[in-house]
Structure 1
Amino acid sequence: MVSRRAVLTALGGTALAAVGVTAAWHGDAPLGESLRQALGVAGPVPAVKRAVVRVERVYSRYRAREVDLLTLVPPGVPTRGLPMSILLHGRYGTARLASVGGMDEVLAAAVGRGQVPPFGFVAVDGGDNYWHENVPGDDPMAMLLEEVPRWLADRGYGGPFACTGVSMGGFGALLYARRRHERREPLGAVAAIAPALMTDWAEMSQRNAFSDPEQWASLDPLKNTDKLGTAPVGIWVGDHDKFITGTRRFIAVTKPTVASILPGGHDDGLYRKVVPDVIRFLGKRVPR
């Protein structure tokens, strides 16, 4: 048996330390097994393949413009009929920025290890108006409801079974769940990461996303908790998030399936903490 100290000593000042450690660690060299055992790591460390990300430009009639359509799916799985979760970006975001906290890597690893059944994400450019028609003729919510399912079907994917959103996208995910409930097409899951749930109109009005307090009140998930429907909801937020007050109120009233408040703020550090749990939450609700 090679001792841990012996291995570390052998590594110091040798070419192995410079060029061979990676290969040895992953079992591509004879030392691989002994190295992992000496450092207290049992078994091989399989390489995780990258998620398959594809971006296209499509024309949205409901937004009256071309938008990016991004699909993110695990590697090596059949995509015909693959269940998909809509993924909504935050304010100043785009479809290309919707995947936060290493979501692509976490999904690929979880599916590759059999921890969750295969599913994917679809993201589109939604603008900065909290996923509703604030500007006449620019209706991102109608795009989600009417066009995204068709775009997915045209590419062989299954329809949206869930909606995931970050910050403004968390607000949008809860609003989308309400609209699906109103259409009697309930979602299988809603995942809101650091949802931008505000409690003060003066603060919200600075974002120029709603015409007046009445419009905001009619759409705000925090003021319409009874209209959300029966879809399982997961909420993840940092205890120092700038939207923590509104999120705590939402949790207290709705008692979601998952209510996770962790140390952290409204940033990628918090997102990386919660994304694995988000993937597990969605994975448990993938339609069979």
Structure 2
Amino acid sequence: MVSRRAVLGALGALGALGAGAAGVSAALGGEEPLPPRANQAVAGGAMSTPKGGSNGFKPAVRRLLVQSERLFSAQRGKEITFLTVAPPGVETLKLPMVLLLHGLYGKAQDALVGNLPDVLVSAVAKGAVPPFGFVSVDGDNNYWHENVAGDDPMGMLLEEVPRWLADRGFSRPVACAGVSMGGFGALLYARRKLERKERIKAVAAISPGLLTSWTEMSKRKAFQDVGQWESLDPLRHPDKLKNLPVGVWVGDRDPFIEGTRKFIQTVRPEVGSVTPGGHNDEFYKTITPDVVRFLGKQLSTT
């Protein structure tokens, strides 16, 4: 049975979804900070919106439509959270949707890193980008592939998410973005879509979880063996993106900087940004305007 909760709150309430206990992090093997844990937003549970903006974007004052549901995923063999975010004042019928993938130890709501919702709403309101929304789902900790038999998050993304979106009047995913482990997953998703001859318009990887060492990757217990990791690792298959518009953003103090620099040097993406910062919301807030601009630019192309 599907349970459904529509959440319509001020953007500050959405901050509880994406930021939760902001600034709280830990480390896995000295490599990957844990994402903040999220608190569930409640209907009408408005929270104060901070004064001032980030990189010229003022916090949105109009109410944002956030819908969170619990759905059963046959591909994963379990119930998951299905979260959609749409800007206010736009037609949601066939609204282009960007798949947004969370990082290690995250949930659907954790994919909304930094001030991403604020930036999206402000950019759409100003006409800087065409209207689009985000959709995110629970993927657990398996780097968005079938690491455990019968639990296939990539299958969910490819087979179920388009149907769930269509059932709610949205478009299929037209682009994909992800943070940390989700950045790895977004690049893998783009590859899978191309292999299926279902090209998306763009892929955006924020602080992607690209490691150069199996010793470090094996600590995450997300792959059966080194061979499986190497078969899926975007670093080892740069040709699989086939001229797809790719954007990559990473901080110069990010634990994934080595692998991400190598990816940028090899793939030469449309955007390959290395700027001061780490693997945290403080850094994400500095690059989300560029991420939204990149996605908007690609979505506006025919």
Question: Could you tell me the TM-score, scaled by structure 1's length?
Answer: 0.83
- In the alignment, the residues of structure 1 paired with residue 62 and residue 274 of structure 2 have an alpha-carbon distance, to the nearest angstrom, of 31
User: Which of 132, 139, 150 is the aligned partner of 2:152?
Assistant: 139
Q: Offset at 1:53?
A: 1.0
Structure 2 unaligned residues grouped into runs of 5+:
1-50, 52-57
Counterpart for residue 13 of structure 1: none
Say if 1:132 and 1:141, in contact at 8 Å, map to a contact too.
yes
Secondary structure of residue in 2 paired with 1:78: coil
Q: Deviations over 1:221-250 (max 9, x none)?
A: 001111122220000000010000000000
Counterpart for residue 280 of structure 2: 267
Q: Identical aligned pairs, as a percentage?
A: 61
Counterpart for residue 212 of structure 2: 199
Q: Offset at 1:205?
A: 0.4
Q: Which amino acid aligns with 1:70?
A: L
Say if 1:51 and 1:105, in contact at 8 Å, map to a contact too.
no
**1:158 and 1:206, CA in 2 relative to 1: closer, same or farther beyond 3 A?**
same
- In the alignment, the residues of structure 1 paired with residue 190 and residue 97 of structure 2 have an alpha-carbon distance, to the nearest angstrom, of 15
Counterpart for residue 66 of structure 1: 79
Structure 1 unaligned residues grouped into runs of 5+:
1-24, 26-44
Secondary structure of residue in 2 paired with 1:206: helix
For the pair shown, the structure with the greater C-alpha radius of gyration is: 1
| Structure richer in helix, relative to its length | 1
Say if 2:59 and 2:119, in contact at 8 Å, map to a contact too.
no
Counterpart for residue 90 of structure 1: 103
- In the alignment, the residues of structure 1 paired with residue 63 and residue 171 of structure 2 have an alpha-carbon distance, to the nearest angstrom, of 21
- In the alignment, the residues of structure 1 paired with residue 60 and residue 237 of structure 2 have an alpha-carbon distance, to the nearest angstrom, of 45
**Superposition RMSD in Å:** 1.4
Secondary structure of residue in 2 paired with 1:164: strand
Counterpart for residue 215 of structure 1: 228
Counterpart for residue 269 of structure 2: 256
Q: Offset at 1:48?
A: 2.9
Say if 2:59 and 2:118, in contact at 8 Å, map to a contact too.
no
Instruction: Give runs of ≥4 in structure 1 deviating > 2 Å.
Output: 45-48
Say if 1:186 and 1:230, in contact at 8 Å, map to a contact too.
no
Q: Offset at 1:47?
A: 6.2
Secondary structure of residue in 1 paired with 2:298: coil
- In the alignment, the residues of structure 2 paired with residue 60 and residue 231 of structure 1 have an alpha-carbon distance, to the nearest angstrom, of 29
User: Which of 62, 72, 79 is the aligned partner of 1:49?
Assistant: 62
Secondary structure of residue in 2 paired with 1:248: helix
**1:47 and 1:65, CA in 2 relative to 1: closer, same or farther beyond 3 A?**
closer
Counterpart for residue 117 of structure 2: 104
Say if 2:96 and 2:132, in contact at 8 Å, map to a contact too.
yes
- In the alignment, the residues of structure 2 paired with residue 264 and residue 104 of structure 1 have an alpha-carbon distance, to the nearest angstrom, of 20
- In the alignment, the residues of structure 1 paired with residue 131 and residue 275 of structure 2 have an alpha-carbon distance, to the nearest angstrom, of 27
Say if 2:95 and 2:171, in contact at 8 Å, map to a contact too.
yes
Say if 1:194 and 1:235, in contact at 8 Å, map to a contact too.
yes
- In the alignment, the residues of structure 1 paired with residue 130 and residue 290 of structure 2 have an alpha-carbon distance, to the nearest angstrom, of 14
Question: Could you tell me the TM-score, scaled by structure 2's length?
Answer: 0.79
**1:224 and 1:50, CA in 2 relative to 1: closer, same or farther beyond 3 A?**
same
Q: Offset at 1:76?
A: 1.0
- In the alignment, the residues of structure 1 paired with residue 195 and residue 206 of structure 2 have an alpha-carbon distance, to the nearest angstrom, of 23
